A = this chain, B = another copy of it.
């Protein structure tokens, strides 16, 4: 039989920090902190396994659980020197959720369990503080009523019945603050609270401490499947069957007077990465007060003066924790009458900036190895994005009107229209793609989706550890919190700052580096890192973040080894940029962009009635293509360049509206009817499955011939100038081996002609995109002709899933919300389906040609999980847009580390 309950307390514990799957993060770390001798209030963890059994058995607990809980409670009482339910020296406990990963604010917590009319007496006697005891009791009844008895408001319109009673009583007493209520008032409150429970639930508020505790455990388990927890797991891709543990912890009180307090802190600054002790605390308060963002707490530096002894002890613990956990910790602590208790530790969430800095600093401090520094747990590759995102242009900012200043909770520059409600933010972004700043008094877990949609988040209250701050940092969103100058009127949908009224259609700009809020749209410029890499007005030695970035990237490249990162680039400047970002070649150079630049000649080609006319039009396009390729070959300076022959359906080059067709007709000196008929002739029911890709080159071989000539001539010209060239000519949309064979024949014959004309040769390859399911299945035959494969996962996803990227909007939200698809398959490779096709393609291709070079050039090539998948199935390279090259480099290193 499994062990269901794990005790921790004193300097011993049944569990340890490695047991997160069973004990949850919180439980495992409480045990671990006990084992390394830190002061932790004793308690025990009911395992995640019990949670899953609870659900499996129709929400009942396993029958063996009770005895284990009772035994653990006895041990807890022993260590804490108090007794649960005792009328003299009562032990109070909290019940806290704790899943394998942190899900801040998503699940339930109940404090002060064990209080009733009898134990209340004991609490008064043992603390000598009657007001504190009654305040604890009224808080308990309220919290238990809200959470366990489910009286909390179910919608925005609902009122919390307890808050209502509290408000009324304060009105009756003529006071404003809770703290102004006296013992009698609190007693009255408890009475009224209990009455409302009786009225709403039809039975008395539970007095039995054990009944209270079991109710709380059930409630914590139940909260695993509340809506927001489900949405949260879906957002981050966590499985629904992990379950949560329930932690029963002895209560310690930060609200027992001015020698008590509570706080949350990071061992280093999670926004900037600075090595300073970063956090906030409140004197005479309970933990929820700090996180909830209602009272603005004090900074840790002030604690040093205010409670120096506790600060010193905490600072020592900071060092012990970092050394022990080898990472930055996010801790919760409570000081009860001068004694420090650690309530939680966990790896700190961090911004991309902080992530890079932590990693590099810790390696240099000798705390961790380079390999550890690069792990995905420390730096999710996407976080690098933050370092590469634009910042506000200092010049533009100088001219901008700063309307307010708040706490810089998550760095970056964001502009957008004001939205006050998460729903509105979400639907605006769903329609427009981006451009929202979510402005809230404070955020709550209900705002999660709106926060994810928004470009930036701005709150009026809360500190650097508030919900808004924590979540923004995790999401990599620009965030400014605690901006007290904002007066938000949700009803009027306005925000007033020093008399100036902003409405929902107004633009504001938010600087997450400085905490500044500006009116209007402020122009941006490249990030420091990008500036050093590309524009180079900033020198490397002038930018600390660049230096740290560069170091990390160097380590990543060392570990990545032979796995290559290429880029998708169509023009010389893009190509150059990508090289600056670390690209080692072009994996996809689309030639159609060049054609759009010379649309007139392209249209002549399309409208040509005979192969001869077509050849004439193509002859005009040749010099343009050749010049473009020369530019790219030069920019890539020896790196391989994969050029795809013409791919899109021809109708894309012709106007579809009357007016446009008229203009083209005039321009081309033909009858408008000719244009209209050609457009009609090219119309397709399913263009994605139509006349495109190599099908164009098969029907019009002269197009492929011209393109091959342009590529090979350019390669010869550039090689003659002493620059190494390595063109790889890629035939798109091949399904049948004979298609590639036919196109490759044209390419090779054309190349031979050019070589004869030029009296020289260059090496080149002919390969194909693998972007049709058939190509994956027939990869063995295709590899007989193909010198390389490149997976086109955009099209492979469309055809493999039978799902058009242009059309899947109708149903994909239902799918994602119903957990019918693991992730959006156009963002992350659908491993089980499309991935299985890819694996088949790799296996069959390499069976024919063991040294076959295989890459990916779909947009998945820059998505970290997809990069790791590509590494795992043995691809030689990934190719992605220039800005994603650093992300792919890091993801590849993590893949190489198996992390």
Contact = CB atoms under 8 A, between A and B. Distances in A.
Nearest to A830: B774
A604 B48 CA distance: 49
B777 A833 contact: yes
A789 to B, nearest CB: 16
Contacts of A830: 774
Contacts of A711: none
Nearest to A681: B810
Given A814-B698, A820-B742, A802 B836 contact: no
A406 interface: no
A65 interface: no
Given A689-B686, A774-B830, A832-B778, A801 B735 contact: yes
A772 B693 CA distance: 21
Interface string A815-841: 100111100000000101110110010
Contacts of A820: 698, 736, 738-739, 742
Contacts of A733: 802
B807 A736 contact: no
B814 A801 contact: no
A688 interface: yes
Given A685-B807, A736-B821, A832-B778, A772 B801 contact: yes
Contact of A689 (B693, B773, B804, B818): B804
A699 B685 CA distance: 24
Interface string A660-693: 0000000000000000000000001111111101
B819 A799 contact: no
Interface string A759-801: 0000000000001111001100100000000000001001111
A777 B699 contact: no
A490 interface: no
B811 A699 contact: yes
Contacts of A803: 689-690, 735
Give the most central of A699, A739, A800: most B CB within 10 Å. Answer: A800
A798 B821 CA distance: 23
Given A832-B781, A833-B778, A802 B689 contact: yes
A818 B690 contact: no
A818 B742 contact: yes
A689 B774 contact: no
Interface residues of A, number: 51
A819 B699 contact: no
Contacts of A781: 832
A365 interface: no
A238 interface: no
Given A778-B833, A800-B773, A821-B738, A687 B688 contact: no
Given A698-B818, A738-B820, A777 B687 contact: no
A884 interface: no
A832 to B, nearest CB: 6
A804 B690 contact: yes
A777 B810 contact: no
Nearest to A808: B690
A695 interface: yes
A771 B800 CA distance: 10
A657 interface: no
A777 B738 CA distance: 25
A821 B737 CA distance: 9
Give the most central of A687, A691, A733, A833: most B CB within 10 Å. Answer: A833
B738 A686 contact: no
Contacts of A690: 803-804, 807-808, 810
B735 A807 contact: no
A316 interface: no
A807 B837 contact: no
Nearest to A690: B807
A645 to B, nearest CB: 15
Given A691-B807, A733-B802, A772-B800, A777 B832 contact: yes
A597 interface: no
Contacts of A689: 686, 688-689, 798-799, 802-804, 807-808
Interface string A301-316: 0000000000000000
Contacts of A691: 807, 810-811
Contacts of A742: 818, 820
Give the most central of A781, A798, A799: most B CB within 10 Å. Answer: A799
Contacts of A821: 736, 738
A658 interface: no
A811 B686 contact: no
A733 to B, nearest CB: 7
Nearest to A806: B685
A810 B691 CA distance: 7
B799 A802 contact: yes
B837 A804 contact: no
A795 B772 CA distance: 14
A695 B813 CA distance: 11
A834 B815 CA distance: 27
Give the most central of A733, A771, A804: most B CB within 10 Å. Answer: A804
A830 B739 CA distance: 15
A806 B684 contact: yes
Contacts of A699: 810-811, 814
Given A691-B810, A777-B800, 15 more contacts: A686-B687, A686-B688, A686-B804, A687-B807, A689-B804, A690-B807, A691-B807, A698-B814, A733-B802, A736-B833, A738-B821, A773-B773, A773-B837, A774-B800, A777-B836
23 contacts: A684-B804, A685-B807, A688-B802, A689-B799, A689-B808, A690-B804, A690-B807, A691-B807, A693-B802, A699-B811, A733-B802, A735-B803, A736-B821, A736-B833, A738-B818, A738-B819, A738-B820, A771-B802, A773-B800, A773-B837, A795-B802, A799-B802, A840-B840
Q: Which are the 4 A-B pairs with shortest beta-carbon distances?
A: A689-B804, A774-B833, A773-B773, A686-B804
Interface of A: 684-691, 693, 695, 698-699, 733, 735-736, 738-739, 742, 771-774, 777-778, 781, 795, 798-804, 806-808, 810-811, 814-815, 818-821, 830, 832-834, 836-837, 840
